[in-house]
A and B are shown apart, each in its own frame.
Chain A
């Protein structure tokens, strides 16, 4: 039986990788992809905890997180297309209209 802390460490590292990608990439689509990495880290944590707690709750919540991730991808990529259509760029540091 693999210790639970291994799964949680892996999830923590994957979450940090997602945060790093979100904070460092310029491309808006890559930032959304980093959010997917973070959501996957949370999913892994939930499934591992559900397995070690003999409970189905974590897996049900993982199912809902996958649903919300699909919704987030649809909305976020719609925003990316709209941004590219109006500004001809998807680099977040070039979208600085609100900067005084």
Chain B
């Protein structure tokens, strides 16, 4: 019963803050709404028994990625952003497309069939603790994807540095 209530609370908060995030005028407020959304997502991970992922969600998403977004928002000018129109002129088309997407995805849901069961039932995960179970799986079966993910992260950091480096002394004026 408590789990149901917690799920419904998290679902309502996720949908509400998600809608607020994509409609609010000030981008900083949107980022703060997404921060609340990420915390409730971590709550859902907790009731799904994925404590390590909940911690990673808060540390990496809320702690690192959103702070990066906030820094970049402060680097570009915000002064006239709150006075301008915040939607593109064909925004109604995007709303129709996304509403149709949501309706079709939910309508397709009853035809979904679960695949075969894996080797980690909840009791085994609780016995081994979640972090150990995830780590065992990641460092044995998925060691190669793990290395590739590290390489992707390294390339992304180098790419971000190269992109943000100031190399042209005279910026191209907007025509």
Q: Which residues of A contact B (CB under 8 A)?
A: 2, 4-10, 12-27, 29-30, 32-34, 36-37, 40, 43-44, 47-57, 59-60, 62-64, 66-75, 77-82, 84-94
Contact = CB atoms under 8 A, between A and B. Distances in A.
9 contacts: A2-B7, A19-B98, A23-B88, A51-B122, A66-B60, A71-B157, A74-B68, A74-B159, A84-B76
Interface of B: 3-4, 7, 11, 14-15, 18-19, 21-22, 27, 30-31, 34, 37-38, 41, 44-45, 47-50, 53, 56-57, 60-61, 64-65, 68-69, 72-73, 75-77, 81, 84-89, 91, 93-95, 97-99, 101-102, 105-106, 109-110, 112, 114-122, 125, 133-134, 137-138, 141-142, 145-146, 149-150, 152-153, 155-157, 159-164, 166, 168, 171-174
B112 to A, nearest CB: 7
Indicate the member of B56, B85, B102 with the most A CB atoms within 10 Å.
Answer: B102
Contacts of A88: 171, 173-174
Contact of B172 (A25, A70, A87): A87
A33 B60 contact: no
A14 B69 CA distance: 20
Contact of A36 (B65, B117, B162, B174): B65
Contacts of B120: 54-56
Contacts of B99: 16, 20
A38 B44 CA distance: 16
B57 A79 contact: no
Contact of A67 (B68, B114, B117, B153): B153
A81 to B, nearest CB: 5
A66 B30 contact: no
Contact of B34 (A9, A33, A68): A33
Given A24-B88, A51-B49, A29 B119 contact: no
A45 B110 CA distance: 15
B134 A37 contact: no
A4 to B, nearest CB: 8
Nearest to B145: A64
Nearest to A91: B84
B18 A37 contact: yes
Closest 7 CB pairs of A and B: A55-B118, A23-B94, A21-B22, A78-B163, A71-B156, A16-B102, A20-B98
B48 to A, nearest CB: 4
B14 A70 contact: no
